[in-house]
Amino acid sequence: MTDSQPNSTIRRDDALWLLRRMRLIRQTSERIAKLYPTDVMETPVHLCIGQEAVATGLCHHLRDEDKLFLGHRTHGPALAKGLPLEKLMAELYGRSTGCSHGYGGSMHLLDLEHGLPGSSAIVGGSIALGVGAGLAAELGAGHFVGVSYFGDAATNAGVFYESLNFAALRALPVLFVCEDNGFSNVMPKSEHSAHDIVGVASQMMPTASIDGTDVLAVNDAAGRAVSRARGGQGPQFLHCRTKRWMKHQGPERCDLIEVDIERDCPIHKLERFMASSGMVTPRELADLRSAIESEIDAAIEFAERSPRPDPNLMEA
């Protein structure tokens, strides 16, 4: 288990990539929260504001062919992995141009081209699927790693242990990423888990526990873990401590935690780092924000003018 230090030697291009993805996720989430009460989206939404660094730092090291299996809090990791924004938005609007053709909704995002084979609304439901992808790769299906991405509450489900055990026994190219936001809906971790997640995982495989609000730390640890999994060194576990600023579901802020922007905001921390090391000017940061706003406007427009799915498919 390591608590890695942020890599202050990161290149400007890489830092910009991380910033752009995190801003895309944040601003998209904020827009969804704003639009959601108007009822244009026919789906429950689980937002990930505050948690952007985990998926972003991870996906910086994943290739399109790597398979990322998600739970119910999907928007951030899917965008980080490369899901085009307009396909996400159309899916939330329930349109046939959505990434799951309007049949999935927020919790079931699919993009085979970008290695998003699917996500499950059942907590813990897709952990074993990442193991299966790793096993498929091991048996010759291709050169990729399987990634199981889940939250702290999923570690209470039996399938979590079954999956880690099997992946470790077979030394599969699998990455387990626990996005630990400390809550199972409204239950704090102290009330839902007697076990220590890192303790359990590290019995079976190399495990790193990282400040998941520090994207450079995640980026660093994910880089090492992905490269070991890819290099035949068996499954790896990343435990990322983060904070969920919003309620479990819906557009409202969570009143169970305190957010300190200086301490907790991954975007603020990266921007501060980049500004102080001369990587970006305030003007560039503002331009990035408004460019992303325009992207979101365009994606919403695309969703709004897209048709709904064909009901006749139901009779198939």
Partner 1 sequence: MTATETRPGVKVMTMIEAISDALRTEMKNDDRVVVFGEDVGPKGGVFGATAGLHEEFGETRCFDTPLSECGIVGAGVGMAVYGMRPVAEIQFLDFIYPAFDQIVSEAAKMRYRSGGEYTCPMVIRSPYGGGIRGGHYHSQSSEAYFCHTPGLKVVIPSTPADAKGLLISSIRDEDPVMFLEPKKIYRHGKGEVPLGEHTVPLGRARIARAGTDVTLLAYGAMVPVCEAAADAAAEQGRSVEVVDLRTLVPLDEQTIVESVKKTGRCVVVYEAPKTCGYGAELAAILAEKCIEYLEGPVVRVAGFDTPFPYTLEHLYMPDEKRVLAGIDKTFAW
Structural element, H or E, at residue 90 = helix 85-92
How many other CB atoms sit within 10 Å of the CB of residue 239? Answer: 23
Q: By CB under 8 A, which span of 25-33, 122-130, 275-283, 294-302 interacts with partner 1?
A: 122-130
Asked if 128 and 163 touch (Cβ cutoff 8 Å), the reply is yes
Q: Is 134 in the site for partner 1 (CB under 8 A)?
A: no
- Residue 261 interacting with partner 1 (CB under 8 A): no
What is the residue type of 146? G
Residue with Cβ nearer partner 1 (42 or 287): 42
Q: Interaction with partner 1 in 21-80: which residues (CB under 8 A)? A: 42-44
CB of 2 to partner 1, least distance (A): 28
**Binding to partner 1 by residue 186, rule CB under 8 A?**
yes
* Residue 235 binds partner 1 (CB under 8 A): no
> Strand pairing of 183-184 and 174-180?
unpaired
Give the type of residue at 184: S
**Contact (Cβ atoms closer than 8 angstroms) between residue 262 and residue 200:** no
Alpha carbon of 189 to those of 184, 280, 283: distances in Å?
7, 38, 41
Binding status of residue 108 toward partner 1 by CB under 8 A: yes
Q: Partners of 232 in the beta sheet?
A: none
Q: Contact at 8 Å (CB) between 2 and 208?
A: yes
What residue type is assigned to position 292 of the chain?
I
User: Nearer to partner 1 by C-beta: 39 or 260?
Assistant: 39
**Shortest distance in whole angstroms from residue 309 CB to partner 1:** 6
Q: Considering the rule CB under 8 A, would residue 192 count as an interface residue with partner 1? A: yes
Asked if residue 256 binds partner 1 (CB under 8 A), the reply is: no
With binding defined as CB under 8 A, does residue 184 bind partner 1?
yes
Q: How many positions of this chain bind partner 1 (CB under 8 A)?
A: 35
- Smallest gap from Cβ 154 to partner 1, in A, equals 7
β-pair type (183-184, 187-188): antiparallel
Measured at the CA of 263, the angle between CA 258 and CA 268, to 5 degrees, comes to 110
Contact stretch for partner 1 (CB under 8 A) within 11-19, 190-198, 232-240, 287-295: 190-198
Residue 316 binds to partner 1 (criterion: CB under 8 A): yes
**Site pattern 87..106 for partner 1 (x: CB under 8 A):** -------x-------xxxxx
β-bridge partners, 70: 119
Which amino acid is present at 80?
A
Per CB under 8 A, residues contacting partner 1 are: 42-44, 94, 102-108, 120-124, 153-154, 156-159, 184-187, 191-193, 308-309, 311, 314-316
